[in-house]
Chains A and B, each alone.
Chain A
Amino acid sequence: MARTGILIETENNAVKDTSLGVMTAAKGQEIIALVTDADPAGLKDKLAEFGAAKIVKLAASGGDITASPDLLAEALAAAVKEFDLTALLGTASVPGKDLFARLAALMDLPLVSDCVGLDLAAKTARKSHFSGKTFATLKVDAPVLLATVRPNAIEAEPAPAAGETAEFTADVTDPGKLVIKEVKKGDAGKIDLTEAPIIITGGRAIKAAENYKMLDDCAAKIGAAVGASRAAVDAGYAPHSMQVGQTGKTVSPRLYIACGVSGAVQHFAGMKTSKVIVAINEDKDAPIFAKCDYGIVGDIFEVVPVLTEKL
């Protein structure tokens, strides 16, 4: 059986749900779960349930792998050789995309970034081209397939396996090219937009920065993240880190609720692979209603508070 490595992302010492979807992408393969930043013993049950034959705590002799993306890439390259992997997959999160690009450059191997589908036996991957307007199927001809999977694009399915724990310390050092001087914490406790299972977005109709609190309140009830349209960001109502769409984040949650978003093609480019899209807009002719699943014509300042109350 071909052996596939999965780089596991964790939060508060628990496996992120997005990583479970990545494991499902490797269904049918012998899965080696690679853990960098948590105690594998605490993750064992979950990772075994979703298919990990082996759970490996990865470390490097040359330092703390969680503190340097270049060192982590070196350690992963060593793990690919150590475990004789034919594929290594990760989450297309902000750090995941950065890390896999470093790894691909280091190993001089092809990489398919932000896949929405994978066939490891055929070595094909499906991903967005032209900012969400088309899907491309790519065939990869390489001894090791490197890919990142779009968060939530592949639904996690249980596939119980042994889940033996092990440790591997790669004999590698940091190339020392980057020095992380500072980490500036954003709003603590906020769910990352690209990885969120549910997103509520406010468009131009939100009218003021302080009105995002209404969406924050709603989001807090259902574990959602809050996004913004480009129009709202350009008007100064929200920071760019919240922007969904062409020049912002690409997201694929199971539920996307657009509040007062008109629905430009550039906005759809960032969210059209969401499972269910709901739009709330005062304008019954807003373009968004032509391309979403469910629509409510109404004032967001009337509809959203009722939604928050009933959720």
Chain B
Amino acid sequence: MKIFVCVKHVPDTAATIKIEGDTGFKDSEIKFVASPYDEYGIEEAVKLVEKNGGEVVIVTVGKPGADATIRSALAMGAERGILVTTDSQFLDATLTAKALKAAMEKDGMPDIIFTGKGSVDSETFQTQYRLAGYLGMPVVNDVSKLTVDGGKAVAELEVGGGDKQVIEMNLPCVIGATKGLNEPRYPKFPDIMKAKKKKIEQMTLADLGIDGAAGAVTLEKLEPVPERSGAKMIEGSVEDQVTELIRILKEDEKVL
């Protein structure tokens, strides 16, 4: 069984984003990691290969520094990595999907492709669908339970309001992983050492015949979300506090 896991190299979710110019951010001072949802995809892929044999290949489209993020995925048990380098953190989702497709076709097609349900940087929530579209594969996102057996995958996903759907599809397919699917492992020291020797093949967007400037969505401005300056504290007895809160919410804020 061959499994690709698409992993995005993103700022750690605890990092402070310092904006530079109109659309840039200071990336030299912050830690980058695998986008959190992608880790559920890595874990599920590694578990499937541990059970069925085969290999897990990490595919990343990102800045050259993304090799460190690929190494962390290799330490979780993936066999090797492919890094398609680009100079922008915000590559158009269409181009990212085309780059992933081209890199995968060059390497040889898989039985399953995992992605996270979305990336925590640009939050476009669409690359997995485009990749599936370009490859003619079924795609299911937000998957919190998966069974793979006899050339079929059965995925469980939340569809809103606590309702869940169980969807069956043929392999090969694209699965967008989310929390609940598994508990991603913490690599042990020997795994980290072993990962240092694993192969990461690098290529550029241009090597795959993709023009990184050809996207239809352009980032015009990046600005901080205004922070609140601190709560107005409501004092008094519990009765008084609650009465005043309800008054404020009804009369001043008009949200009740």
Contacts and interface: CB of A to CB of B under 8 A. Distances in A.
Contacts of A131: 13, 120, 123
A192 B159 CA distance: 10
Contacts of A184: 156, 163-166
Interface residues of A, number: 87
Contacts of A307: 242, 245-246
Contacts of A192: 160-162
B133 A105 contact: yes
A131 B94 CA distance: 21
Nearest to A243: B179
Interface stretch (B77-85, B187-195, B212-220): B212-220
Given A132-B225, A181-B168, A298-B241, A276 B255 contact: yes
A93 B163 CA distance: 13
Contacts of A276: 249, 253, 255
Contacts of B161: 186, 190-192
Interface in A97-135: 97-98, 100-102, 104-106, 108-114, 124, 127-135
A181 B154 contact: yes
A255 B225 contact: no
A244 to B, nearest CB: 13
Nearest to B144: A240
Interface residues of B, number: 80
A296 B218 contact: no
Interface stretch (B56-64, B102-110, B134-142): B134-142
B169 interface: yes
Contacts of A241: 158, 162
A311 B246 contact: yes
Interface in A191-210: 191-192, 194-195, 198
A192 B162 CA distance: 7
Given A241-B162, A255-B256, A302-B238, A105 B17 contact: no
Contacts of B52: none
B114 interface: no
Nearest to B169: A178
A178 B140 contact: yes
Contacts of B160: 93-95, 192, 194-195
A187 B233 CA distance: 35
A302 B238 CA distance: 7
A265 interface: yes
Interface of B: 11, 13-14, 16-17, 19, 25, 36-37, 90, 92-94, 120-126, 128-130, 132-134, 137-142, 144, 154, 156, 158-170, 179-180, 215-225, 227-228, 230-234, 238-239, 241-243, 245-246, 248-249, 253, 255-256
15 contacts: A97-B125, A98-B141, A127-B123, A134-B19, A141-B216, A142-B216, A185-B163, A186-B162, A191-B161, A241-B162, A254-B255, A279-B231, A293-B231, A296-B233, A310-B246
